[in-house]
Amino acid sequence: MSVRICVPRETAAGETRVALAPDGAKRLISDHISVAVEAGAGDAAGFPDASYEAVGADIVSDPGRLLGEADVVFKVAPPTEAEADRLPKGAVLACLLRPHESEALIQRLAGRGVTVLALELVPRITRAQSMDALSSQSNLAGYKAVLIAANTLGRIFPLLMTAAGTLSPARVLVLGVGVAGLQALATARRLGADTWGYDIRAAVREEVESIGAKFVDLGEGTSEDAQTEGGYAKELAEEEQARQREQLAAHIARADVVVTTALVPGRPAPVLITGEVVERMRPGSVIVDLAGEAGGNCALAQPGETVVEHGVTIHAPLNVPGSLPYHASQLLGRNLSALVKPMIGEDGVSVDLEDDVIGPCCVAHAGEVRFGA
**Active site includes 225?**
no
- Spatial contact of 138 and 259, defined as CB atoms under 8 Å apart: no
Give the mean pLDDT of the chain: 94
- By CB atoms closer than 10 A (0-12, 13-18, 19+), residue 53 is middle
How high is the pLDDT of residue 179? Answer: 97
Question: What is the tens place of the pLDDT at every residue in 218-241?
Answer: 875 555 455 555 555 556 677 777
- Spatial contact of 7 and 35, defined as CB atoms under 8 Å apart: yes
The helix/strand count (H/E) of the chain reads as 12, 19
What average pLDDT does range 269-273 have in this prediction? 94
- Spatial contact of 365 and 353, defined as CB atoms under 8 Å apart: yes
Bridge partner list, 260: 175, 289
pLDDT at position 107 over 50: yes
How high is the pLDDT of residue 243? Answer: 80
263 DSSP 8-state letter: -
Handedness of CA 245, 251, 256, 257 (dihedral sign): negative
| CATH, range 3-121+329-364 | 3.40.50.720
How high is the pLDDT of residue 278? Answer: 98
Catalytic residue, chosen from 49, 52, 112, 135, is 135
Question: What is the tens place of the pLDDT at every residue in 42-58?
Answer: 999 999 999 999 999 99
pLDDT at position 108 over 60: yes
How high is the pLDDT of residue 275? Answer: 97
Annotated domain spans of the chain: 3-121+329-364, 135-323
How high is the pLDDT of residue 160? Answer: 95
3-121+329-364 against 135-323: fold identical: yes
CATH architecture of the domain 135-323 equals 3-Layer(aba) Sandwich (3.40)
DSSP string, 140-196: HHHHHHHHHHHHHSSS-SS-EEETTEEEPPPEEEEES-SHHHHHHHHHHHHTT-EEE
Count, residues in the chain: 373
What average pLDDT does range 165-180 have in this prediction? 96
What average pLDDT does range 334-346 have in this prediction? 96
Question: What is the tens place of the pLDDT at every residue in 247-259?
Answer: 899 999 999 999 9
C-alpha R_g of the chain = 22
> Edge-to-edge strand order for the sheet containing 58-60?
58-60, 33-38, 3-7, 72-74, 92-95, 115-118, 362-365, 368-369
**Active site includes 137?**
no
Position 168: which residue type? S
Report the SS3 class of residue 291: coil
- Rounded to whole angstroms, the Cα distance separating 193 from 92 reads 46
- Spatial contact of 52 and 25, defined as CB atoms under 8 Å apart: yes
- Rounded to whole angstroms, the Cα distance separating 164 from 58 reads 61
- Rounded to whole angstroms, the Cα distance separating 279 from 263 reads 24
**Active site includes 132?**
yes
Bridge partner list, 35: 5
Catalytic residue, chosen from 30, 61, 107, 129, is 129
Which residue from 183, 195, 189 is spatially nearest to 143, judged by alpha carbons? 183
What average pLDDT does range 21-30 have in this prediction? 97
Catalytic residue, chosen from 65, 124, 190, 280, is 124
**Active site includes 58?**
no
Catalytic residue, chosen from 51, 232, 254, 280, is 232
Report the SS3 class of residue 289: strand
Question: What is the tens place of the pLDDT at every residue in 274-302?
Answer: 999 999 999 999 999 999 999 999 999 99
How high is the pLDDT of residue 228? Answer: 52
- Rounded to whole angstroms, the Cα distance separating 103 from 119 reads 15
**Active site includes 135?**
yes
How high is the pLDDT of residue 295? Answer: 95
Catalytic residue, chosen from 49, 71, 132, 194, is 132
